[in-house]
Structure 1
Amino acid sequence: MMFILYNLLFFIGFILYFPFLWLKGKVHGDFLTRFGWWPAALSADLQAKENIWIHAVSVGEILAVQGFIAQLKERYPRHRIVLSTVTTTGYQLAGSKFKDIKIIFTPLDFNFAAEQYVRRIRPKIYINAETEIWPNLFRALQRAGVPIVVVNGRISDKSLGGYRAIKFFIKKILSWVNIFCMQNQEAADRIIELGALPAKVRVIGNMKFDDVLQPKILAPQDLGLPGGAWLWVAGSTHPGEEEIVLDVLRSLSREFQQLRLVIAPRHVERTDDVLNVVRQKGFSPLKFSQLTQAPWEPNRVLVVDTIGQLRSLYGLAEVVFVGKSLTAQGGQNIIEPAFFGKPVIVGPNMQNFQDITELFKKAGAILQVKDAENLKYELERLLNDPGRRKLMGTAAREVVQKSQGATARTMNVVGEILKV
Structure 2
Amino acid sequence: MAAWRGATTLGAALLPLWLTHRARLGKEDPARLGERRGAGADRPAGPLLWLHGASVGESQSALPLLEALAELRPDLHFLLTTGTLTAARLLEDRLPASLRPRVRHRFVPLDVPAHAARFLDGWRPDAAVLIESEIWPNLILAARARGVPLALVNARVSAGSARGWGRLPAVARRLFGAFGLVIAQTEEDAARLRALGAEGAQSWGNLKFAARPLPAPRAALRALREAIGGRPVLLAASTHPGEEAQVAAARAQLQERLPGLLTILAPRHPERGPALARELEEAAPGAVARRAAGDLPGPGTAFYVADTIGELGLLYRVAGVALIGGSLVPHGGQNPLEAARLGCPVLLGPHTDNFATIAARMVEEGAAERVADSGALAEAAAAVLTEPDRARSMTSAAARIAADAGALPERMAAAIEALLPEPAPAWDGIRAATATG
Secondary structure of 2:106's match? strand
Q: Is the 8 A contact 2:233 2:263 kept in 1?
A: yes
For the residues of structure 2 that align with 1:239 and 1:161, how far apart are their CA atoms? 29
Which residue of the partner structure matches residue 317 of structure 2?
315
Shift of 1:29: 3.0
1:21-420, aligned counterparts within 5 Å?
A: 21=22, 24-26=25-27, 28-36=30-38, 38=39, 42-43=40-41, 45-98=42-95, 100=100, 101-197=103-199, 200-213=200-213, 215-216=215-216, 218=218, 219=221, 221-282=223-284, 284-291=287-294, 296-418=298-420, 419-420=422-423
1:207, 1:404 within 8 Å by CA — same for their partners in 2? no
1:397 deviates by 1.2
Equivalent-residue separation in structure 1 for 2:138 and 2:297 (angstroms): 55
Shift of residue 9, structure 1, vs aligned partner: 4.1
Contact 2:36–2:109, Cα closer than 8 Å, also in 1: yes
Q: After TM superposition, give the deviation of residue 136 of structure 1 in Å.
A: 0.5
CA–CA distance in structure 2, aligned partners of residues 245 and 358 of structure 1: 23
Distance in 1, Cα, partners of 2:349 & 2:239 = 11
Choose 167-176 or 371-380, whichever is displaced more: 371-380
Out of 161-170 and 220-229, give the one that drifted further.
Answer: 220-229
| Contact 1:182 1:202 (8 Å CA) reproduced | yes
Cα offset, 1:52, TM superposition:
1.2
Distance 1:156 1:404 in 2: 25
Q: Distance in 1 between matches of 2:44 and 2:175?
A: 27
Paired amino acid for 1:209: F
When residues 184 and 399 of structure 1 are mapped into structure 2, their CA distance, relative to the original with a 3 A threshold, is: same
Aligned AA (1:4): A
Query: Contact 1:259 / 1:298 at 8 angstroms: preserved in 2?
Result: no
The worse-fitting range, judged by mean Cα deviation, of 123-132 and 214-223 is 214-223
Q: Which amino acid aligns with 1:65?
A: A
Does the C-alpha gap of structure 1 residues 267 and 12 become closer, same or farther in structure 2, counting only changes over 3 Å? Answer: farther
**Quick check: 273-282 or 10-19, which moved more?**
10-19
For structure 1, which segment, 21-30 or 164-173, has the greater mean C-alpha deviation from structure 2 after superposition?
21-30
Residue in structure 2 matching 1:6, options 4, 7, 10 = 4
**Cα gap change, 1:311 to 1:124, in 2 (>3 Å):** same
Question: Contact conserved, 2:51 with 2:129, CA < 8 A, in 1?
Answer: yes
Structure 1: unaligned runs, 5 residues or longer = none
**Alignment coverage as a number of residue pairs:** 410
Relative to 1, partners in 2 of residues 1:56 and 1:282: Cα closer, same or farther, differing over 3 Å? same
Letter in 2 for 1:252: L
Contact 1:207–1:405 under 8 Å retained in 2: no
8 Å contact from structure 1 (residues 232, 320) kept in 2: yes
CA distance in 1, matches of 2:10, 2:244: 36
Shift of 1:171: 1.3
**Contact 1:216/1:312 (8 A) holds in 2:** yes
Q: Deviations over 1:200-248 (max 9, x none)?
A: 2222211111112561255454343444222222111111112221221
8 Å contact kept, 1:67–1:210: yes
> Which AA in structure 2 matches 1:192?
R
The alignment-based identity, stated in percent, is: 29
Q: What amino acid does structure 2 have at the position aligned with 1:409?
A: R
* Structure 1 range deviating more: 279-288 or 391-400: 279-288
Give the match's secondary structure for 2:418. Answer: helix
